Amino acid sequence: MSRSVRTRPEGSGQALSEAYDTALLDLDGVVYAGGNAIVHAVESLATAREGGMHLAYVTNNALRTPDVVAAHLTELGIPAEPGDVITSAQAVARLISDQVPQGSRVLVVGGEGLRVALRERGLVPVESADDDPVAVVQGYGGPELPWGRFAEASYAVARGVPWFASNTDLTIPSGRGIAPGNGAAVEVVRIATGAEPQVAGKPLPPMHRETVLRTGAERPLVVGDRLDTDIEGAFNGEVDSLLVLTGVTDGAHLLAAPPRHRPTYVDADLRGMLTGQPEVSAAGGGHRCGGWTATAGAARLELDGDGDALDGLRALCAAAWTAAGEGVCELDGGKALARLGL
């Protein structure tokens, strides 16, 4: 079946950590949240690594350098080297370097992660539109980023300087809740200038390219919590994906996912990397997984049976995605999800 019309989560007779050589792991909502490790993450990643799986940490957050991210992971009990971390800052720096001469000046609106990535590609970070930049790059700069930085970017972009963005995630999780992300900051410059940036981060191809170049992955598995970045990025890169339910995606979002947002596998947390995945099979006019059978009724999704809640969710996904085809399922799945506690 074509990847573009996935109608059910897939099964795997092997543990995913054995079936794939490299896990491309998102960080926020997958490995940690608010700076603390998510439950089961540390031990699951250790087991996968000990079994021979290469672990790479892929983030759209351009603020922190790979050194800082690796140090944070190591402090959490997840040993990591800077080379294990791939950021959207690295992806956008390569995108810029492919289009401008080495040694070119680039106006930076963002944090140290962007500056380090630009220097790695032989580019020179500058701070003002009056420094004669040949490009403008914008990445997440944290909550203390001065408003005047957006003005500098706007002045340069309005003069016709090419504009790049590390990513356009509208939100970013924090220890206190959901905060505006780089996409919100990009909107400020877009409104002021009417221009459109070239974007590098997930779910777009430059990020996948950067990740594969740096990891050498041959059978990668994208592991994420967001449908619109992690799972769509896997779809665009034509690789398999595992959605974990430890971040922003809930059951209702998953049932309504269009084809580009439908993961290959679904599990509760990173323990799902260490196991096989159950088969979802056709059953009469519905779909069955474990002890559950899900069908698409006239107005809502129906669920019968009992057993593991995740099996019920997988069966519901199959019923919803089959009913939706290449669109979005509009059937009410609320009652079925409530029965599963999801």
Mean per-residue pLDDT of the chain: 95
CB 168 within 8 A of CB 201: yes
Average pLDDT in the 313-325 region?
97
Task: Specify the pTM.
Answer: 0.93
Burial of 339 (0-12, 13-18, 19+ CB in 10 A): middle
For residue 262, give the H/E element and its range. Answer: none
List, in order of start, the domains of the chain with CATH numbers.
17-60+203-273 (3.40.50.1000), 89-199 (3.40.50.1000), 281-334 (no CATH)
pLDDT(177) > 90: no
**pLDDT score, position 3:** 58
Lowest mean pLDDT among 33-42, 114-123, 145-154: 33-42
Strand order, beta sheet including 292-296: 281-283, 286-289, 292-296, 301-305
pLDDT(24) > 50: yes
> Of all residues in the chain, what percent carry a pLDDT higher than 90?
92
Distance, CA of 233 to CA of 239 (rounded, Å): 9
Residue 200's nearest CA partner among 266, 121, 261 is 121
Distance, CA of 227 to CA of 69 (rounded, Å): 23
**pLDDT score, position 5:** 84
pLDDT in tens, 239-278: 999 999 999 899 999 999 999 999 999 999 999 999 999 9
Active-site option among 28, 169, 230, 311: 28
Q: For this structure, is 28 an active site residue? A: yes
Residue 65's nearest CA partner among 114, 17, 22 is 114
pLDDT in tens, 90-131: 999 999 999 999 999 999 999 999 999 999 999 999 999 999
pLDDT in tens, 45-62: 999 999 999 999 999 999
pLDDT(282) > 50: yes
Q: For this structure, is 311 an active site residue? A: no
For residue 167, give the H/E element and its range. Answer: none
